[in-house]
Amino acid sequence: MSGDHTSSAVSARVRSVEAFLESRGLLDDGEIDRRIDEFLAGGSPVNGARIAARAWVDPGFAERLLADANSAIRELGLTMAGGLQEQRLKVVANTVDEHNVVVCTLCSCYPIALLGPSPGWYKSEAYRSRVVRDPRGVLREFGVELPDRTRISVWDASAESRYMVVPRRPAGTEDLPEEQLAGLVTRKGLIGTAVV
């Protein structure tokens, strides 16, 4: 791993394991850093927006996406295999009756490949703890007012699983092409803290 990591005992142990794996030929020198850099370079909210827009215009894709997101996103040339192991992606869709929101209560697990680096508020302890206890109140703070009859589902990411929300398609967009629809989708919408 590049850089000065001597201030952390954990970093020193990680570097030791990395050096051991390199010495055994299981990793090339600097391979982990290169893979992380490649993964981060490809991550952008544009990827998630493309997925949502395709789901809006292609009911078959939407069905495949909700059933097996990892397979469906490959149709768009995307993958969740940015690290050494492919992460499981679960995509949920907002409807009139249900609004979905994503969190990682333990840390800040997040689909970087599809949404880009996570926003600071997503990593904050305040968001991580409160959205589970009071999702309606937290969403209100983001400017999202939902009818009382709308159920709110909170999806908790983990080291192995990531979540993404397909927002409801905005009214009056029936004639827009997929590319323009993708331009309407925001990262907050893909997390569930905004409507599109």
Catalytic machinery residues: 104, 107-109
Q: Determine phi and psi for 165, rounding to 5 degrees.
A: -100, 135
Q: Which residues of 21-36 are buried (b: 16+ CB within 10 A; e: fewer)?
A: eeeeeebeeeebeeee
From the number of C-beta atoms within 10 Å of its C-beta (0-12, 13-18, 19+), residue 14 rates as middle
Angle at 118 between CA 170 and CA 43, to 5 degrees: 80
